[in-house]
Every structure is written in C-alpha cells, then in structure tokens.
Amino acid sequence: MRKKSILFVCSVLLFVSFVVLSKYEDRPVLRSLDFAVTVKLQERIDSSSHLRMASFVGNLMEGATFFASPEFTVIATVLVTGLVLYDRKQRRWHLRSFIIPLALIAVVAVEIYGKSIVHHPAPMYSMIKNPTTIFPANYINEQFSYPSGHAARAIFLAIVCISLLFYRYGTNRAGDRRRIGFIISSFCYVILVAVSRVYLGHHWFSDVVGGLLLGGGLALFGSAMLMQTKDV
C-alpha cells in the first residue's frame, strides 16, 4: 500500500510540474536556455565525434527515435498489456491491466492538446541534422514542438516495463543483477532518446523535459493502478 501511495504522489508531482512548465514555456529565459542547450549539445557531440564516426552517431540518434515512435510504442504496449492480462499461475484475468494502454492514450492526447495550446515553435530548419527539405534553409519551422512525444513515450515504456518486471517477479533477491541491469538499460534508452531529439534539432530542451514529465507522470499513475492487483 505504501509503495502505491508513493507512486501516486510522484505521478501527481510530475504531472503538476508538466502543467507549470507548460504555463511558463514562452518565457524569454526558457527560450534562451533552449537555444543555448541545443547549440552546445550539437557542437559538443559533433566536435567529439571523429569524421568517420559522424555517420554512426547520426544513425544511432535516428535509431533511438525509432524505438520511441508511435508504431513501436503501440506494439510494445500491446505486448506488455498481454503479459499482465492473464496470470497462468493464478488462472485469473487482470482486467486492470488495460490501464496501461489507457495511460498511453492519455499521453498522446495531452501531447496533441499541448501542441495545440502551447505555441512553442520547433527549432529552425538550419538546426535540423536530417532535413527533409533544403529550401528555404533558414526558414522558421511553423510546427509546434512542445511537448516532445518521443521523450514522453520513451519514459512511459521504460517505467511501465520496469513496473511489469516487479509485478511479475516481485522484489525477491533472486535475479537482482538482471533486474538492476534491465533498469539501467531502460533509463539509458530514455536518455539516448532525449538527447537525440535535441541533437537532431527536432525539439528544444524544454520540449524534451516537458515530454519526460508528462510520460513519467502518467506511467507512474498507470503502474500504481496496476499494482493494486498484486502486492509487490
């Protein structure tokens, strides 16, 4: 019960932080921070990458975005829901597992709604690492980019999968190394996706932070609801 309460509190705190950030997103201070972080991150990665490694870094960043794409996220969410839906040992259905896809739908809905009311222009085309168009080169991207859907979906998947790990296998010490390794790998995946969105020039720093707050908050809420079916 205590663990579920902690998850609920953390989910509320993250979502409230997302709402607050959304309200002050257009402040000059944040816009200056966005530009500075994006430029420095792109320069740092490009300068530290050897010429032969430049294409590898670009492909790595592009690959990271695929594993947070809407298609991949939907497939992964369906698989996770299927793993939780039926318990073979207890021979019972856990209908509460449908909270996972519902939480994902909420993430997407808030993302779309956020981009429609928070008019935060995406980075300029000149900052995009893989532009789909070359004219005009310095045109301001008219699309709105807050919050980052890729960042939201990445942390959503990571937290939900970690919750599933504890849901299925509990907190016993057997397999602690594998469990810790999985948790570390999950958050490395989230960090890679977050960095890639800024490096590739598709999102500002604040877009990514907003996406992480949104996806993390709803993922923790869904995990807390899921744990009501089993004491872990």
pLDDT digits (tens, 9 = 90+) for 19-34: 999 988 888 888 899 9
Span of 10-14, 53-57, 70-74 with lowest mean pLDDT: 53-57
What's the confidence (pLDDT) of residue 193?
92
User: pTM value?
Assistant: 0.83
Distance of alpha carbon 215 from alpha carbon 159, whole angstroms? 9
- Average pLDDT, stretch 53-75? 79
DSSP 98-144: GHHHHHHHHHHHHHHHHHHHS--BPPPGGG-SS-S--SSTTPPP-SB
What's the confidence (pLDDT) of residue 136?
46
- pLDDT bucket at 86, cuts 50 / 70 / 90: low
Number of compact structural domains in the chain: 1
What's the confidence (pLDDT) of residue 158?
93
The per-residue pLDDT for range 121-176, each reduced to its tens digit, is 888 777 777 654 444 444 444 478 899 999 999 999 999 888 887 766 665 555 57
Q: What is the residue range of 32's domain?
A: 2-229
The per-residue pLDDT for range 174-221, each reduced to its tens digit, is 557 777 888 899 999 999 999 989 988 889 999 999 999 999 999 999
What's the confidence (pLDDT) of residue 216?
95
Backbone angles phi, psi at 144, to 5 degrees: -95, 145
Indicate the DSSP class of residue 51: G
Tokens representing 196? Answer: 């890639």
What's the confidence (pLDDT) of residue 137?
45
Cβ–Cβ < 8 Å for 8, 221: yes
Where helices occur in 24-123 by DSSP H, the ranges are: 28-48, 54-66, 70-85, 99-117
What's the confidence (pLDDT) of residue 89?
65
Distance of alpha carbon 171 from alpha carbon 166, whole angstroms? 6
The per-residue pLDDT for range 99-110, each reduced to its tens digit, is 888 999 999 999
What's the confidence (pLDDT) of residue 151?
94
